[in-house]
Structure 1
Amino acid sequence: MAMLSPKFDDLTIGHDFLFKKVMRNPRICKHLLEEVLQAPIAEISYPEIEKTIDVFYDSRGVRLDVIVADEKHTHYNLEMQVKNTTNPKTGQHVLPKRTRYYQAMLDVDALQKGQNFDLLPATYIIFICAFDFFGEGNYIYTFKKRCLETPELEFPDETTIILLNTTGTHGNISPDIKSFFEYVNQHAVTSDFTKEIDKEIFHIKSDQKARLEYMSLETYV
């Protein structure tokens, strides 16, 4: 039996629709990225939002939640993941290969026919997970390619995958990221940052156009 979608007024930041709407606020999105990366970003732009990428007519399309780019042309894909989904046929968790596919689709979409490979932008695939995929208790898991024979040797393809674990217990995160995790988990407003997010959600839920958009999307799901 299919699960009923939540009512519009009951949506939380953990729902794709509301997460995407909140991240359309450049100040919130930029601050979240800066706090995750612990590095300043001068400005961000939105090349696409909730973009569907289809490479071939018979290949699986990908609908990405949020794509933003900074002043250095680095691309960031932000995704909200509240469930640790498994393939019922294989019993395997889908998250690792999902990040792999998203990365591949970003690269294919970024490079035009005839362009050199060195023009591919640096990319960050960032999943905000309301679960600890690895069970290590880390707030953040950051992955880059490294040489097995020489671990300090990093493969310079400029791709990074970051899993944020909102249920983590240790690691180096900023107070604003910690408060953001509490907001995702418990809807607790404990900082100016989460207060701004909560205010943005209030405005979104007060927007009749957003309400109608959600109802229309749910009708055709």
Structure 2
Amino acid sequence: MPIKPFKDLSLVDDFMFSEVMRRPENIKPFLEALLEKKIESVVTIDKQKDLKDTYDAHGIRLDVYLEDEHQTKYDVEVQARLHRKLEKRIWYYTSGIDRHSLEMNTDYEELSDCFVIFICVEDYFGAGLAVYERESHIKGAPEIPYVDGSHAFILNTDFKAENGNPAVMDFLRYIRASYKGERYDISESSYLRQIDEAVSEIKEDSGREMEYMTIAMKMMDERKEAFEQGEARGRAEGERANQIKTIKRMLSRGMSLEDISDMIGLELEEVKKLAAQE
């Protein structure tokens, strides 16, 4: 897939979303409207934050990660295409954030609240809601909440029912219009005008364009390498399957394992292992 031109980026693209929403004046009003709570200050904020426990572990690259004055963690993601098993992805992100925020020898009670928010351009659950919020309670006793400090939201820009703050609804409409390449009237919203101006400002920054191209090229190389590794594994598995088939066919014709080893050029122990495969 070719790299999307920088001038064509919108808020639905990871890079642009990270650049715009990493600014406290942009992310803070959004979170306050969605969560209906006051955030006094944003203490730390990162874009495209990497969480990885070990070099070869499956890493997490967060779009926008921040903490408030109470050390509450927030991760906000934008999804231009629908992913399967989004619930497990949210669980994995939450656990990664918790592991990296809990210091050695710190009691689990010290874990801060964590909010993971996914903004999707398609309706993941198909119920037409704009805001899907996970609730946890005890089975058989729904009046008893299960409070572990983790919170999950999946927002749907393609909503039919407006079940959230009007400011959030406007924001989702703006993202949907950006995704479809349509214009959206932002004249009545000072917040959306602020967001739109940030997008335009970033597009005019040659330094940001170079950064985008560097990241895009790196990700393209990573995908290419992963594809080539997958192809290599597939070829190796296919070769192994053919060897097993050949060995079994030769055994069915009464040949000994020793003779087969000589004929196909494999060590006897390897031939025995392959012959035992189902």
Q: TM-score when scaled to structure 1?
A: 0.91
Structure 1 residue aligned with 2:113: 122
Aligned pairs for 1:92-131 within 5 A: 93-131=84-122
Structure 1 residue aligned with 2:123: 132
Secondary structure, aligned partner of 1:164: strand
Secondary structure, aligned partner of 1:66: strand
> How far apart are residue 175 of structure 1 and its match?
2.5
- Number of equivalenced pairs: 212
Secondary structure, aligned partner of 2:99: helix
- Is contact 2:19–2:47 with CA below 8 Å preserved after alignment? no
Counterpart-to-counterpart distance in 1, 2:216 and 2:48: 15
Counterpart-to-counterpart distance in 2, 1:42 and 1:98: 29
Q: Deviations for 1:77-100, whole angstroms, at most 9, x for unmatched residues?
A: 000012112xxxxxxx13111111
Aligned pairs for 1:158-177 within 5 A: 158-177=149-168
Counterpart-to-counterpart distance in 1, 2:104 and 2:115: 23
Unpaired runs of 5+ in structure 1?
Answer: 86-92
Unpaired runs of 5+ in structure 2?
Answer: 179-183, 220-278
> How far apart are residue 47 of structure 1 and its match?
4.5
- Is contact 1:143–1:162 with CA below 8 Å preserved after alignment? yes
Secondary structure, aligned partner of 1:67: strand
- Is contact 1:189–1:198 with CA below 8 Å preserved after alignment? no
**Structure 2 vs 1, CA of residues 127 and 63 (structure 1 numbering), >3 Å: closer, same or farther?**
same
Determine which structure has more spread, i.e. the larger CA radius of gyration. 2
Aligned pairs for 1:1-221 within 5 A: 3-85=1-83, 93-187=84-178, 188-190=184-186, 191-221=189-219
Secondary structure, aligned partner of 2:71: coil
Question: What code does the residue aligned with 2:100 have?
Answer: D
- Cα RMSD after superposing both structures: 1.3
Counterpart-to-counterpart distance in 2, 1:69 and 1:189: 32
Question: What code does the residue aligned with 1:31 have?
Answer: P
Counterpart-to-counterpart distance in 1, 2:45 and 2:174: 27
- Is contact 1:30–1:44 with CA below 8 Å preserved after alignment? yes
Counterpart-to-counterpart distance in 2, 1:27 and 1:198: 13
With CA pairs under 8 Å and 6+ residues apart, which has the higher RCO, 1 or 2?
Answer: 1
